[in-house]
Amino acid sequence: MAPRPKLEVVHAKGKRYDWGFDYARPDPKFPTRYIIPPKGKDPFRIMMRGYAAMETEKDNRVYGGLDSDVRYRNANVAEPRFMEAMKFAVPAFTDAEYQAVTGAGFLVASVKNQEMRQGFAAQMLDEVRHTQLETGLRKYYLKNYHDPAGFDIGQIALGNHPIGTLARASFQPFNTGDPVEVSMCLNVVLETAYTNPLVVALPQVATVNGEHAMPTAFLSIQSDESRHMANGYGTLMCVVQEPDNVPFLQESLERHFWHQHMSMDTLVGVVSEYYAVNRPWAYRDVWEEWVVDDFVGSYMSRLSSFGLRPPDRLGEVARFVEDMHHSVAIALAAIWPLNFWRIDPMGPADYEWFENHYPGWTARYGGLWDAFRAMSDPSSGRVLMQELPALPPFCQVCHVPCVMPRIDAPETRIFDHEGKRYAVCSEGCEWIFKLNPKIYTGCANWWERFDGMDLADVILALGYVRPDGKTLMGQPHLNAERMWTIDDIRRLEYEVKDPLKA
Amino acid sequence: MVAETMADAKITDNDCFYKIEREGLLSFDMADLSERLGREYTVHDFLVNMTSYYGRIVVNDAGVEIHADILPERFRD
């Protein structure tokens, strides 16, 4: 048999079969302000012959792993505290994958370079694969975890959740706007800087908490993300060589780095520390390793010869990473009746871990967790959100609650724009809002939607009740007994009030 | 293989993955890996097992290289 032609030879030959754009009127969905040189490289030299073989093998491994997990009843061996996080975290991932399907398709149509298009075409197929894998993972949880309430409505529940809309806000830029900035957001910032904490480090937390299905699926997904990082690298290296592009790239990097930091550092920090019994590391250290050392140190800082700087707000991000996930974790606990998952109260071993890794944690957050735990039984007749002087507004840009970076010292900014009042959580989000307010003024603030309603009616409107029609999906504990019902909530006579209306 | 051919590489066991780091260059030769395994091991087999990376990657039939230098010749043409 004749030897198989070398990959690099076939790849080079394949590029000669490029086609022009004269068969269709060039009418991009969004125009670009960048000068895009007609050259670009895909470091993986992806060809369908290798792609199909790789993805087949990956799928065989993941679905084989799930079969094994079912046989060993792994979903009920894993720590329930961690499993509850999967009810909101996996739908958030799926939101990202789905937005990225259209994002990669948009890039295929926008980039007039055969080699780059081939990389983006593979990415589009990858994103479909990831959506399917995550849907399969959720079905596995739904069928095998002992308390599946919330897994059944995960995607719609996330879209309606007060903080769950963070996913839509974070991932919509994957397919909306200038094509180069779509790649900057999706490939360069999210996939290169943040998928490593999200899809590599977080599976380690799953593993040490006894959950093996999530690492099986997500480490397989990340092996595709490697190529997506390379798509971003190829795009960036192509456009950064044109000096007129550099100020636009810098602005894009600033915008997306701050926004993805707000959502991803919140998500990974909260899940890895507050939904874990066993913690292999402190999130601050993982952020330092993957985002600062690897993304900034080994990548962004080495582009200075082109005039591109690491993000100016890197120091601010570092300051926020110390505290923000602690603030959001307790905010999620405070609004627990509005969740579609359960929260295990932090206990003495958790307090000790937090104090050791974040000195001062007990003084700052311990009292709030004490109060949450004291009110976890329905007989208490109280919920933590009642005890707060006012509900925090949600950031109009990143959708996290305005308790940033510290719940006791938020840096919220409230301002009027074209006759309407808005809140943002930070200077960075205000800067992003003012870059292009039209992007951020289209959606209502979450509290505004339910202003004046009884909390029980809000929960019913969201559909966050179990099949008996009265027991809440969200619970402030993991006990099978003494679960809160809609009647318990109605007895509170708690009226939801939009904090921006006053 | 890493311990033998890249003795200065740092390998960390992270429970469900290994992180391999080295100054300058990580190089994985498929012919060498195939000989050690006693079966053909292609670059596509390698990429199924490689979860992530940072730096600049170069992929061809012979192997996978990950460079700390992120400005390659192939991007300068």
Contact criterion met (CB < 8 Å) for B52 and A225 = yes
Which residues, at least 6 apart from A501, have a Cβ–Cβ distance to it below 8 Å?
A448, A451
The pLDDT tens digits along chain A (502 residues) read 677 788 888 888 887 777 776 666 666 678 888 888 777 788 888 888 889 999 999 999 999 999 999 999 999 999 999 999 999 999 999 999 999 999 998 888 888 788 888 899 999 999 999 999 999 999 999 999 999 999 999 999 999 999 999 999 999 999 999 999 999 999 999 999 999 999 999 999 999 999 999 999 999 999 999 999 999 998 998 899 899 999 999 999 999 999 999 999 999 999 999 999 999 999 999 999 999 999 999 899 988 989 999 999 999 999 999 999 999 999 999 999 999 999 999 999 999 999 999 999 999 999 999 999 999 999 999 999 998 878 899 999 999 999 999 999 999 999 999 999 999 999 999 999 999 999 999 888 899 999 999 999 999 999 999 999 999 999 999 999 999 999 999 999 999 999 998 6
SS3 state of residue A177 = coil
Rounded Cα–Cα distance for residues A148 and A87 (Å)? 9
Instruction: Identify whether the C-beta of residue A227 lies closer than 8 Å to the C-beta of residue A119.
Output: yes
- The answer, for B44 touching chain A at a CB cutoff of 8 Å, is yes
The helix/strand/coil state of B61 is: coil
Asked whether the beta carbons of residue A226 and residue B55 sit closer than 8 angstroms, the reply is no
Closest of A114, A109, A128, A110 to residue A47, by C-alpha: A114
Q: Does A231 touch chain B (CB under 8 A)?
A: no
Q: How many CB atoms are closer than 10 A to CB A284?
A: 18
- Which chain A residues are within 8 Å of B71, Cβ to Cβ? 237, 302, 305
Q: Considering Cα of B47, then B49, then B51, then B54, what sign does the dihedral take?
A: negative
Q: Is B68 left (phi over 0), alpha (psi -120 to 50) or beta?
A: alpha
What residues have CB less than 8 Å from B19, skipping those under 6 apart?
B11, B12
Q: Give this complex's ipTM.
A: 0.89
**CA distances to A59, A260, A311 from A440, in Å:** 38, 15, 22
Return d(Cα A311, Cα A265) in angstroms, integer.
16
Which residue in A106, A104, A111 sits closest to A38, CA to CA? A111
Residues of A in contact with B61 (CB under 8 A): 6-8
A191 CB-contact burial (10 Å; exposed 0-12 / middle 13-18 / buried 19+): buried
* C-alpha to C-alpha distance for B19 and B8, rounded to whole angstroms: 14
Contact criterion met (CB below 8 Å) for A144 and A155: no
Sign of the torsion formed by the C-alpha atoms of A284, A286, A288 and A291 = negative
Closest-CA residue of A relative to B16 is: A204
